[in-house]
Chains A and B, each alone.
Chain A
Amino acid sequence: MRGHLPVLPLLLTLVGAMATPIVALVAPRAASGLAVGAAAAAALAALGGLADVLVAGPRRYALGGWPGPWGIELVLDPLSGFVGVVVAGVGTAALLAGAGGARRVYGDAAPTFHALALVALTGYLGIVASGDLFNVFVFLEIAAISSYALVASGGGPGLVAAFRYAVLGTVGASFYLLGVALLYALTGSLNMADLAARLPALAQSPLLTGGAALIVVGLAIKMALFPLHGWLPDAYTHAPSPVTALLPAVGTKAAAYALARILLSVLGGGDLPLAMLLAWTGAVAVVVGGVLAARQQDARRLLAYSSVSQMGYIAIGLGLAGTSALAGAYLHMLGHALAKGALFIGVGALLLAGRRPALAALGLGPRQPVLGACLVVAALSMVGVPPALGFFSKWYLLEGAVAAGQPGLVGAILLGSLLALVYMYRLTGAVWFGESGALPVAATPRPVLAVLVVLAVATLGLGLVSGPLVDRILIPAAVLTTAAAGP
């Protein structure tokens, strides 16, 4: 049983996705419970996988019994275990919080939303579990195609945003596939571990340089790294609330994980000029995304641009590729997933309660203190105030930037926090001190509040235990991605 832990989370979400529409024919209410249950089971399996890695060390799983490098391998190690827990855990929270909203938004079609959301989660978990370049492409597209449908599901301007997302997402995946084709032409292998062993001898080949560049550009589109973020703001602004609870929190993280895995441990990217370029692109993303977020009048568009800014932090960490910079980037995946999930769930709850997304019309006053407090905690994490998780991830990133002797990147990280203070104050200030207090606001449903409280408590609590978290899991994960690149 423990030997099957690498494949278990994605099997559970996949089976859940298949079963949900069938169960919905008989019992529509039970279908949403089943979907949330499948995601929760996947989260537990991912947690079990991570615990198993810590006790028994990494596992390689031969899908269908065909061993690598010929068959498709799944890999469970500290990094994939950790990101798997983040994706499945925050995904479960988003599905739970979105269940009530899905019934409101979609009516009888709510089980379709749940099935699509589970397919998307399967794709993300597959990206994280896979140890094979072509397999990553397939899972990227499984996640992406269901995301296009999810973004389009609200109709109206969401349709246009979804089409744009579909075209840009496909171009990104195609760049990735072309890069994989070049690496395959060079080595005849698609297995990550096998490639990592073969590529150092071929370091001078132009095919390697070209393939690496194409893969990085393709995955940068998928993770919405500035200036390749064009699909993201419209998609996150116009998608229905239950969708914005899920996609912004986990979607871009899976692509960032793939970039970390392939650039650092397969291509040995820590030494490539490409890595420094990635770090500086991340720095520009942090600043430009922050400035754009601070200028927005629509709460969801503000959060979307803040995602562009926060993904920049992860790119800085991956580009620097030092141990503490990488630990910071991986911790930031967790911190940002929790905080952005909470913020989108909170704003989504306000919209479902009858508020308009314009910041000037979002005002709630102190009437729902729990909702408001959770938004403030998430906002503090985005800014990087201790003891929230966001403080610690930025701290490790700063340490990495200082160790690499890059004052420009240090400046970008600090400036990004300052900009986050501006745009997060605009959002939480609008919620707490807004003017439209006279309008009635429906109470936030209990499951949504419960999820928000859990996310806020996790943001603070995991911040307090971030020391052991980094020492036990993230430093080994960082060492793993740098050490595989060779001495």
Chain B
Amino acid sequence: MSGGGLGILPYWAAIALLMIGLYTTVAHRNLMKKLIGMTVFQTAIILFFLLLSVKRRATLPILAGPPDAAAYMNPLPHALMLTAIVVMVATTGVALAILVRVHARYDSIEEDVIAARVATEHPDGPAGP
């Protein structure tokens, strides 16, 4: 559970990636860069979660003979992150699909340009049902 096999350094790497991803998501005005930042952020969490199961000189928890808990890596974070990766792929896929349609509609993926075009198209707010 300690992840101590690799020391504290990998955790700092995960935290650095978290910060880079979050900053990119919030600060960039380009929607594609926001999406990239979001992916970095999610990947950093996956890295962080997996670090919890890292153990030196341990192996996969496959029973071949009498079970020896001390010799196994914790498989649960891996199983959880497999699910999280599926969620992440789905989110990224939907976001990319929306982005493609945004580009087709407004001919830009710059937030400011799109906002200006929305404002000129609907001077008194949006229409339609």
Contacts and interface: CB of A to CB of B under 8 A. Distances in A.
A163 to B, nearest CB: 5
A298 B125 CA distance: 7
Interface string A159-186: 1101100110011011001100100110
Given A138-B83, A358-B124, A160 B114 contact: yes
B129 A105 contact: yes
B45 interface: yes
B20 interface: no
A145 B91 CA distance: 6
B84 A159 contact: no
Nearest to A354: B129
Contact of A156 (B41, B52, B83, B105): B105
A441 B127 CA distance: 16
B6 interface: no
B58 interface: no
Contacts of A351: 128-129
Contacts of A160: 102, 106, 114-115, 118
A348 B94 contact: no
Interface in B96-125: 98-99, 101-102, 105-106, 114-115, 118, 121-122, 124-125
Contacts of B31: 163
A104 B129 contact: yes
B42 A298 contact: no
Contacts of B114: 160
B126 A237 contact: yes
A357 B94 contact: no
Interface size class on chain B is: 35 or more
B94 A166 contact: yes
B126 A188 contact: no
A238 interface: yes
A174 B129 contact: no
Interface residues on A, range: 35 or more
Contacts of A134: 80, 83
B91 A152 contact: no
B98 A159 contact: yes
Contact of B125 (A141, A178, A358): A358
A60 interface: no
A379 B90 CA distance: 38
Contact of B90 (A145, A152, A159): A145
A163 B1 contact: no
A188 B1 contact: yes
B8 interface: no
Contact of A138 (B87, B94, B129): B87
Given A155-B101, A237-B126, A348-B129, A171 B22 contact: yes
B34 interface: yes
A103 to B, nearest CB: 12
Contacts of B52: 181, 184-185
B98 A163 contact: yes
A171 B90 contact: no
A241 interface: yes
A29 B91 CA distance: 31
Contact of A356 (B80, B115, B121, B127): B127
Given A159-B102, A177-B84, A171 B25 contact: yes
B16 interface: no
B95 interface: yes
Contact of A167 (B38, B45, B48, B84): B38
Given A137-B87, A145-B94, A160-B114, 9 more contacts: A154-B128, A162-B98, A167-B35, A171-B25, A174-B41, A178-B18, A238-B126, A297-B124, A357-B127
21 contacts: A145-B94, A148-B94, A152-B98, A157-B121, A157-B122, A159-B98, A159-B102, A159-B105, A163-B95, A163-B99, A167-B25, A167-B34, A170-B91, A170-B95, A173-B87, A177-B45, A181-B45, A184-B77, A188-B1, A241-B129, A358-B125
Interface of A: 101, 104-105, 134, 137-138, 141, 144-145, 148-149, 152, 154-157, 159-160, 162-163, 166-167, 170-171, 173-174, 177-178, 181, 184-185, 188, 190, 237-238, 240-241, 297-298, 301, 348, 351-352, 356-358
